[in-house]
Structure formats: structure tokens, C-alpha cells
């Protein structure tokens, strides 16, 4: 099978999932990435990458990326005789794929994977709602990374067509845990408002007042200055390390005891799954797709939105009892190994492709 993949080549979950899927598929299929930059998770591979160049012209206040992407998709499909275009994120990738498909006189199949923000935030804006709905409906196949995302998409966009749920995955072989002296609480995200960075800081302050611990903050984004300001205000500079964007999170997670994810919304929560693969208990909010893989009280903990007191109490209990923390962590790892590995998830994508190509 010859597959073209388009994603945002950034540090967000959609780009990570698309890249890892491409790496796995490339073992048995001909895979090509079509993006404005090489996804960071493809570094060190020989998977073909086709760069989308956008014309910088004074007439355009905003560069017409959607059109440039459609044009590049057309070019790559023709040159590489692709069978299918798999786009991650509805806007604008699914729209570009639709344009390319029409230019190719419907000789290519399009699969769209919804990841969350594309339909729960951007797509709901009046400026994008109609085109998002249209692009989803016109795709030959649509998947979502959780039941929660599937249901909210169908409801909010009044979509009747089937949306197949295919969960995210991680390769457990890439994650490990190691002994370390310091107690470490970690948060990793793109530091947007929805990640509720103040709750991370507030929960950690409660934790560190009862148990000596350090805070690792991994990622970058618009709320990073807010995090830096709060760390100073709470006088925990000596306990906090800002890592910025990190290409390989494995070493940090190997030294982590607790992973905090107090998000206002998570369509799935790939960062939490990576932590679980590292045998790290996750304490998260009970929102979106998180309850679909975090079993409260078994392999992690789920708290009401904004309840930093509950998050801190669970964390302190774990940090004070190392055997209990390791027991929860082992159960988290086993959950990943049973349900969310490449061997389990990638064949679901392959079967989905086949169903679209033979429909």
C-alpha cells in the first residue's frame, strides 16, 4: 500500500501519533509525509518527506497554506502513485485533501483522523465550522482517537456518517524507569490555556509543602510565561526545572514519580499514555478520553476539573508509599502493553485503509 500522511510537524500529540504511525507503517508499506516541515519524530529515518512551500507575496496578508498543501498533495500522489491520503487534523488538512482529490478526479482515497482541538475548538469557531463539517463529511473514512471525541464530533457537527475509533499508541520498548533519589512530579504539554498550567503549579505547591519534591515542566507554548511567573510567585524556583520542548521524553519520564495532567479537555491524552508506559502513575482530570484508559484507583487517578486538592492528596499518598506507587505504576504499564501498543493499534489502521479502498 502506498500512503501519504499529512500532520502538523510539531510537538503536539497529533504530530507525534502521525509520525509514529508512519514509522510503523513504513516497515511494510510505502509511506510519504507531506508537511511544511519534517516532523521531529521522523529524524533519523529515511521515510520520504515532501515539503510544502508557501508563496510569500505582499498581496497575501496570510499565506495560503491550505492551497499550497493541496497542490503538493496533488503532485506527490501523481509522482508516487499513492493509494490513500491520511490527514491528521480536520483543519486545514482534510480540506486540502478534498481539493487534491477533486483535482485528481476522485482517483485517491482520503482518510481523516480527528485529534481534538481541530473539532473541539478551532472547528467550532463560526469562521471554520461549515468548512470543518464539510471536510469531515467528504472524507472517505474518518477516525477519532477516543469514543469521547467521536461522540462530541457527531453531536456538535450533526454528522451521521460513521466515525471509527482507533486509539493512540506508544511502543513500550522505548520507555523504562530508573532509580532516582529525588521525588519528581512532571507535567508535559503545549502550555495552552486548556492545559490549565496554574492548576499544575497549585497542585505541586500543595504536594511539596508535605513531601520534598521537584517539579519538571516539559514543553512550550503561550502560557509558559504564566508558568514562570507563578513559579516565582510561589517561590519554588529551586524546586522547578523548565525543559522546553524535548524531542525524546523517555529519559525525563524514567526519572518521574508522578505525572500531573489537570487539563480542561483531552480528546485522548497521549502524554499520559507515555507516562504510563514508563510505569508512572498519572493523576489527571476526569475529562474527555482520559477515563477510557486510566482506571481510577487502579493504574492512575481521575479528579474533578479544578480540584487541585484531590490531585495533591493522591500524589502525596503515592510519594509517601514507594511500594504503593510502584504497584500503581506497574499496573499502568500493563494497561499500555495490553491495549495500546503498535502491534495492537497499527493493524487497526491498516484494516481501516483496506475498508476505505474497497468500499
User: Which of the residue ranges 48-57, 116-125, 276-285 would you say has the lowest mean pLDDT?
Assistant: 116-125
User: Which of the residue ranges 28-42, 46-60, 282-296, 309-323 would you say has the lowest mean pLDDT?
Assistant: 46-60
- Rounded Cα–Cα distance for residues 97 and 235 (Å): 49
Check if the beta carbon of residue 317 is closer than 8 Å to that of residue 303. no
Fold of 172-339: Rossmann fold (3.40.50)
Q: Biggest alpha carbon distance in the chain?
A: 65
245-269 average pLDDT score: 95
Q: 235: which 3 cell numbers?
A: 517561590
Give me the pLDDT at residue 118, please.
Answer: 67
Residue ranges covered by each domain of the chain: 2-169+341-357, 172-339
Give me the pLDDT at residue 247, please.
Answer: 82
Helices (H), 81-223: 95-103, 117, 129-138, 147-156, 197-208
User: What band does 86 get if pLDDT is binned at 50, 70 and 90?
Assistant: very high
- Rounded Cα–Cα distance for residues 337 and 254 (Å): 17
Fold: same for 2-169+341-357 and 172-339? yes
Closest C-alpha among 126, 168, 81, 107 to residue 342: 168
Give me the pLDDT at residue 116, please.
Answer: 83
CATH class of 2-169+341-357: alpha beta
What backbone torsions phi and psi does residue 24 show, to the nearest 5 degrees?
A: -70, -45
Chain segment 108-123, per-residue pLDDT in tens: 999 999 998 767 665 4
Give me the pLDDT at residue 120, please.
Answer: 63
- Rounded Cα–Cα distance for residues 216 and 159 (Å): 41
Give me the pLDDT at residue 122, please.
Answer: 57
User: What band does 63 get if pLDDT is binned at 50, 70 and 90?
Assistant: confident
Q: 57: which 3 cell numbers?
A: 507575496
Chain segment 221-239, per-residue pLDDT in tens: 999 999 999 999 999 999 9
Say which residue, 211 or 62, is predicted with more confidence.
211
pLDDT tops 70 at residue 339:
yes
Amino acid at each position: 500500500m502506498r500512503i501519504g500522511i499529512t500532520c502538523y510537524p510539531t510537538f503536539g500529540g497529533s504530530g507525534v501519533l502521525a509520525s509514529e504511525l508512519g514509522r510503523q507503517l513504513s516497515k511494510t508499506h510505502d509511506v510519504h509525509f507531506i508537511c511544511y516541515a519534517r516532523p521531529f519524530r521522523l529524524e533519523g529515518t529515511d521515510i520520504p518527506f515532501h515539503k510544502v512551500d508557501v508563496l510569500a507575496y505582499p498581496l497575501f496578508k496570510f499565506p495560503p497554506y491550505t492551497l499550497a498543501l493541496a497542490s503538493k498533495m496533488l503532485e506527490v500522489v501523481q509522482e508516487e502513485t499513492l493509494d490513500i491520503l491520511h490527514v491528521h487534523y480536520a483543519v486545514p488538512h482534510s480540506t486540502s485533501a478534498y481539493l487534491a482529490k477533486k483535482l485528481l478526479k476522485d482517483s485517491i482515497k482520503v482518510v481523516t483522523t480527528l485529534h481534538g482541538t481541530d473539532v473541539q475548538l478551532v472547528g467550532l469557531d463560526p469562521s471554520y465550522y461549515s468548512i470543518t463539517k464539510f471536510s469531515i463529511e467528504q472524507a472517505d473514512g474518518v477516525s477519532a482517537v477516543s469514543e469521547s471525541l467521536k461522540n462530541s464530533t457527531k453531536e456538535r457537527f450533526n454528522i451521521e456518517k460513521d466515525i471509527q475509533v482507533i486509539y493512540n499508541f506508544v511502543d513500550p520498548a522505548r520507555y523504562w524507569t530508573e532509580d532516582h533519589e529525588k521525588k519528581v512530579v512532571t507535567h508535559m504539554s503545549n502550555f495552552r490555556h486548556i492545559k490549565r498550567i496554574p492548576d499544575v503549579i497549585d497542585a505541586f505547591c500543595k504536594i511539596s509543602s508535605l513531601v520534598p519534591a521537584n517539579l519538571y515542566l516539559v514543553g512550550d507554548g503561550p502560557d509558559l510565561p504564566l508558568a514562570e511567573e507563578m513559579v516565582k510567585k510561589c517561590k519554588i524556583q529551586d524546586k522547578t526545572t523548565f525543559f522546553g520542548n524535548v524531542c525524546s521524553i523517555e529519559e525525563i519520564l524514567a526519572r518521574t514519580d508522578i505525572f500531573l495532567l489537570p487539563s480542561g479537555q483531552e480528546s485522548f491524552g497521549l502524554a499520559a499514555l507515555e507516562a504510563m508506559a514508563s510505569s508512572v502513575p498519572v493523576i489527571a482530570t476526569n475529562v474527555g478520553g482520559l477515563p477510557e484508559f486510566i482506571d481510577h484507583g487502579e493504574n492512575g487517578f481521575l479528579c474533578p476539573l479544578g480540584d487541585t486538592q484531590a490531585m495533591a492528596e493522591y500524589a502525596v499518598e503515592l510519594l509517601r508509599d514507594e511500594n504503593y506507587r510502584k504497584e500503581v505504576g506497574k499496573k499502568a504499564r500493563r494497561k499500555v502493553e495490553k491495549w495500546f501498543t503498535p502491534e495492537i493499534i497499527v493493524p487497526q489502521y491498516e484494516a481501516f485503509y483496506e475498508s476505505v479502498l474497497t468500499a
